[in-house]
Structure 1
Amino acid sequence: MNNKVITKEAAAELIRDNSTICTVGMTLVSASESILSSIEKRFLDTDSPRNLTLVHAAGQSDRNRGIQHLAHPGLVKRIIGSHWGLAPKWMEMISGNQVEAYCLPQGQMVHLYSAMAAGLPGRLSPVGLNTFIDPRIEGGKMNSCTKENIVEVVKFKDKEYIFYPSIPLDTLIIRGTSADPKGNLTTDEEAMKLEVLPAVLAAKRFGARVIAQVKYLVEGGSLDPKSVVVPGDFIDNIVICDNPERDHRQTSSWYYDPAYCGKIRVSPQQETSKAPLDIRKIIGRRAVDFIKPGAIINLGTGIPNDVIGQIVKEKEMESDVTITVESGIYGGLQSGGIDFGIGRNLSAMISHQDQMLYYNGAGVDITYMGAGELDRNGNVNATRLGSQCTGAGGFIDITQNARHVVFCSTFTTKGLEIELNDGKLNIVKEGHIKKLVNTVNQISYSGKLAVEKSQKMHFVTERAVFEMTDKGIMLIEIAPGIDLEKDILQLMEFKPLISEKLKTMPMNIFTA
């Protein structure tokens, strides 16, 4: 078949009831908006397709679009993904038991695609042991209506691993920039490389249909073969986006900026100005002090990605450190919030899958991650905050293998207000919710495993810094102006060890 072009409505009609579909993207980057919104419209108009299983590695939404289009009871009966922090409809459906929901580590899912493509029954990995992914704890099940264990613990040569089984696919939905009539696909203007080809090959192993949304249909034979990410033989249908500014955006905040796909480098005058000195920047300033020259670091979503890169730049440390993000970007200036995972003036961009190979194997020198709760055993929860099931994303893959993990978090939350006076911190209004608790709501990071591996771990807040030791969590620093008993110990559900050399955090952290 030479011409594979179909309409978005025709693409939606190809999705069968009770089938398993897989989508590729991260945040809103490479989300196939035309196809996803057409599936939603078909369901709302005709009550079909129904009872789908949705598989996705990274979170794919900006709170409004992406896989949010599929968040309807009856449309999807089971979701197997990694992150829904920017998908409020999915979090609501999961917490309301309207869908069976499994959270698996993002890196393990992209690696699973390769195992599936190779005809293997699944993937063995130590990633996820001793966390909520471990079937002896929760098995990745995110609500009470999810009953079946889809992962298992196995022993191989006297070591424990989690077995992640292959998932037979019926339809894969991907996105590219250009395609020719035969389906040869490029991703030149996309802001990430992602795991497009491994997912395509995984789909083909099961005889699945591959549908690609593109911005441009180009003449046959006009594409540079080196720029072709997916050969046309593996693509069944092409949907040309009819409204690219709305439905084929490079990312949520930008329709197209050549700096985000490496086509140009912007001048320093166009880069973001200094961030204001607020509570997030205070935490980031202290966290950055752990960096040693030559370090390769990772930035997780939230406080780390939003402020660490800017602080490194302000401190003129760029030549001393290499910043990476799980999407596959190196260096540059990272965007944050709903545009997590992209950056300008990058030094390199590799695929999502290759980045996770590095994080899972060698591991970064330091990873900076956000956190919701810390308990007396050094366990951290970043995946189930109250009733909100945000999911893990790349959190477990990265934290379990990094040499040094630095969690960045406010000490309390919901209503916390501070002020700075002459290099001292004053708590104007305390947060209503404690973050240092007896037992975390969900184990996203295992303190026990960290101690067994002799992994360095610090928990940095605006008023205190804690360190994981083999005897438990130890308070090692407090902010100037903070009362140890009133502002720290009374607001913890457990009593930490207190260092005999308890220090005061440097006053310049709290000075504009």
Structure 2
Amino acid sequence: MSSKICTAAEAAALVKDGAFLVCAGNMNNCLAEEICAAIEQRFLDEGHPSDMTIMSGSGIGDMGPVGGVFRGFEHFAHDGMIRRVIVGHNGSNHTIMQMQQDLKVESYNFPQGVIEHMFKARARGMDVELTKVGLGTFVDPRQEGGKTNSVTTKDLVEVVNVMGQEYLAYKTPKIDVALIRGTTADEEGNLTCEDEAVLTNIQAIAMAAKASGGIVLCQVKNVVKKGALPAKEVIIPGVFIDKLIVCTDLEKNHRMTMGEYYNPAYTGKYKYPVSAAAALPLGVKKTIARRAAQELKFHVPVNTGLGYPEGIASVANEEGIADELVLTVETGAFGGVPAARTSFGATTNALAFVDSPTIFDLYDGGFLYATFVGLAECDPAGSVNVSRFMDKSGRERRPGAGGFINLTQGAKNVIFCGTMTAGGYKAEIRDGKLVILQEGAEKKFLNSINQVTFSGPHAMEIGQNVLYITDRCVFRLTKEGLVLTEVAPGIDIETQILPFMEFRPIIADDVKEMDPKLFMEGLIGLREDIESRDR
């Protein structure tokens, strides 16, 4: 039997011009960084591989270049190296996003969970992934079809009718090369992931590549003797892996997350104490997180996203209820405390791990009680944009949707969190009241938004409960539009809310004051709030 072990340079030599290349991972989590760097070096030295199509479920990179260092897909951001990009999120691939904006590559943005399921579909030999996820949003071909610039013309998604119901059919790729990562492999390629923060989509990608007749290149820390690994710890059987690349620079190229080289609390092996000393200071982020946390429910799956929703886990921990929540992350963790920012995707003290396609089965299947997501732009119908923005010069930026569409179309309760204005907004909490020191230059509640990432009318059609929690008030979505239901202490509706909206919402007959304790120091009795609401 020939050895599967090779160097990163030898692995890079197997990637042909025009290849369809798929990379596993989430930012730096489970990213085959050493192989990506070797492929780039080969292109710089030889001009090959060129004209590739690259695809990932989430963002592969580290929002760089950071300190001049490129990671993940950013290694492929060279003219002529890539022709087409299909991703769930561009936010961690700034150089790729720049190529997209400069019309140097064809570019598609599909929901992260749809891409994960496209890999599973291809592994089953299916030419399409059939789903309702994306209906009514910018990936619906009746809007933009997920195309993100004018040089992108080929249709990869279409509307189909099955038994009287509308679905979106996404064309699944035939994969030439899959890049995956694990911790330890035996000589035959049987792979374990004991030191990885997440599993992401490595299994689905490996199986999809083999079903396509492609090759699987796997980066690992260690190689051990055949049969040395406990069979039930093997995540991918060796028959799905063609080459093993043992990482030569672990600290640089096999980091657990973008922010941390290694954190044992992310592995699930150990449970670390999480101190309430890390509580948020009293301010707008905390008051929004507290109000959002009042919508939690014990012992059922919920999801919290980036930005203002990040504060919810901190508030829950401070209030002593974190152990009774089942927070989930798109990368597959259940329970524990989701990591933020540069370690997003990892989880401290998780109770269980599944892979990304499986967690999106849960999201798409309607099992998620609530999702808490950011708020960038909102229109009178309650539709929200978080995926496409225009600067003052008219130049656009498209970070994309990530898992946002799956989450907001699958959850029973959708809670948007954010300030009413952006761009220089400053405020503080003083004597139990919100005091706005400087209003933001940019309004978020607009007559027309740049892109529909969440469709308010679709949410009403399928019976979701939708809230918009801001620094100064709370709106609820109805079939008639946004209804203002709560206002913060110290805020006047006529002078401090309505002038900063391009449209006038419906004002409830019984507008309530937001709970005053949200704006006070000390604990707020969150457990009692949740239990009393659920009685």
* Bucket of the pairwise TM-score, normalised by the shorter protein: over 0.9
Separation in 1, partners of 2:208, 2:369: 32
Aligned to 2:235, the other structure's residue is in SS state: strand
Paired AA for residue 55 in structure 1 = M
> Using the alignment, how far apart are the partners of 1:481 and 1:330 within structure 2?
39
Query: Which residue does the alignment assign to 2:360?
Result: 356
The aligned runs of 1:291-440 (5 Å cut-off) are 291-304=296-309, 306-386=310-390, 387-440=396-449
Quote the offset at 1:272 in angstroms: 6.2
CA contact (8 A) 1:374 1:380 kept: yes
Q: Please, what TM-score do these two structures have when normalized by structure 1?
A: 0.97
Is 1:52 the counterpart of 2:52 in the alignment? yes
Query: Conserved in 2, the CA contact under 8 Å of 1:372 and 1:385?
Result: no
Structure 1: gaps of 5 or more residues? none
Alignment-mate amino acid for residue 187 of structure 1: C
Please say if residues 377 and 448 of structure 1, whose CA atoms lie closer than 8 Å, have aligned partners that are also in contact: yes
SS at match of 2:330: coil
> Whole-Å Cα distance in 2 between the matches of residues 476 and 3 of structure 1?
66
Partners of 2:283 and 2:429 within 8 A in 1: no
1:186 maps to a residue whose letter is: T
SS in 1 for 2:168: strand
Query: Is the contact between residue 123 and residue 163 of structure 1 (CA under 8 Å) also seen in structure 2?
Result: yes
**Counterpart of 1:200?**
206
1:288 matched to 2:297: no
Contact 1:363 1:402 (C-alpha < 8 Å) held by counterparts: yes
Which residues in structure 2 correspond to 1:224-239 (within 5 Å)? Answer: 224-239=230-245
- The aligned amino acid for 2:283 is D
Counterpart amino acid of residue 76 in structure 1: I
1:16-55 Cα distance to aligned partner (Å, 9 max, x none):
1111100000121011110111112222233221111001
State the partner residue of 1:493: 502
Paired position in structure 2 for 1:115: 121
SS at match of 2:115: helix
Q: What is the identity percentage for the equivalent residue pairs of Structure 1 and Structure 2? A: 39
CA distance in 2, matches of 1:258, 1:326: 20
**What does residue range 19-58 of structure 1 map to in structure 2 within 5 Å?**
19-58=19-58
CA deviations 1:422-472 (Å, max 9, x no partner) are 011111111111110011111000111111112100111111111101111
Give the partner amino acid of 1:459. Y
Superposed CA offset, 1:123-160 (max 9, x none): 11111000001000000011122111110000000000
CA contact (8 A) 1:334 1:343 kept: yes
Question: 2:301–2:367: 8 Å Cα contact kept in structure 1?
Answer: no
| CA–CA separation in structure 1 for the residues paired with 2:515 and 2:290 | 10
Residue number in structure 2 paired with 1:263:
269
Q: What is aligned with 1:132?
A: 138
Distance 1:268 1:166, change over 3 A: closer
C-alpha distance in structure 2 between counterparts of 1:342 and 1:413, whole Å: 28
378-387 or 314-323, which deviates more: 314-323
Please name the residue that 2:17 is paired with. 17
Q: Does 1:506 align with 2:511?
A: no
Aligned to 2:4: 4
Question: Which has the higher mean CA deviation after the structures are superposed, 318-327 or 390-399?
Answer: 318-327
Partner of 1:11, secondary structure, is: helix
Q: What does 1:172-191 align with in structure 2 at a 5 Å threshold?
A: 172-191=178-197
* Per-residue CA distance 1:59-95 (angstroms, 9 max, x = gap): 1222132222222232111001101112221222222
Q: Is the 8 A contact 2:282 2:429 kept in 1?
A: no
Aligned 8 A contact 1:86 1:338 in 2: no
Is the Cα contact below 8 Å between 1:191 and 1:251 reproduced in 2?
Answer: yes
Give the residue type in structure 2 aligned to 1:418.
A
Q: Is the 8 A contact 1:2 1:182 kept in 2?
A: no
- In structure 2, relative to structure 1, the CA distance for the partners of 1:96 and 1:282 (3 Å cut) is farther
Distance, in Å, in 2 between the alignment partners of 1:40 and 1:422 is 57
Distance in 2, Cα, partners of 1:74 & 1:476: 54
> Is residue 250 of structure 1 aligned with residue 256 of structure 2?
yes
Match of 2:281 among 267, 276, 287: 276
Cα distance in structure 1, aligned partners of 2:269 and 2:491: 48
State the SS of the aligned residue for 1:124.
strand
Q: After TM superposition, give the deviation of residue 486 of structure 1 in Å.
A: 2.2
Where does structure 1 differ by over 6 angstroms across 4 or more consecutive aligned residues?
none
Residue matched to 2:530: none
CA distance in 2, matches of 1:280, 1:379: 23
Work out the number of aligned pairs and report it.
Answer: 510
Segment drifting more, 440-449 vs 326-335: 326-335
- Contact between 2:323 and 2:336, CA under 8 Å: does it hold in 1? no
- Per-residue displacement from partner, 1:90-140 (whole Å, max 9, x unpaired)? 222222222111011111111111211111121111110000010000000
Q: Does 1:162 align with 2:168?
A: yes
**What is the Cα deviation at residue 205 of structure 1?**
1.0
CA offset at residue 265 of structure 1? 1.0
Taking the aligned partners of 2:57 and 2:322, their CA distance within structure 1 comes to 31
Separation in 2, partners of 1:234, 1:2: 15
Instruction: Provide closer, same or farther for how the CA distance between residues 354 and 388 of structure 1 changes in structure 2, counting only shifts above 3 A.
Output: same
8 Å Cα contact 2:86/2:108 also seen in 1: yes
TM superposition shift of 1:319: 4.6
Whole-Å Cα distance in 1 between the matches of residues 296 and 187 of structure 2? 50
User: What CA distance in whole angstroms lies between the structure 2 residues aligned with 1:17 and 1:149?
Assistant: 23
Residues 253 and 437 (structure 1), Cα distance of their counterparts in 2 relative to 1, 3 Å cut = same
Contact kept, 8 Å, 1:37 with 1:69, in 2: the verdict is yes
Structure 1 residues 97 and 277: CA distance shift in structure 2, 3 A: farther
1:452 aligns with 2:461: yes
CA RMSD of aligned residues (A): 1.4
Contact 1:363/1:398 (8 A) holds in 2:
no
Amino acid at match of 1:503: K
Q: In structure 1, what is the Cα distance between the partners aligned to 2:2 and 2:279? A: 53
Superposed displacement of residue 483, structure 1: 2.2
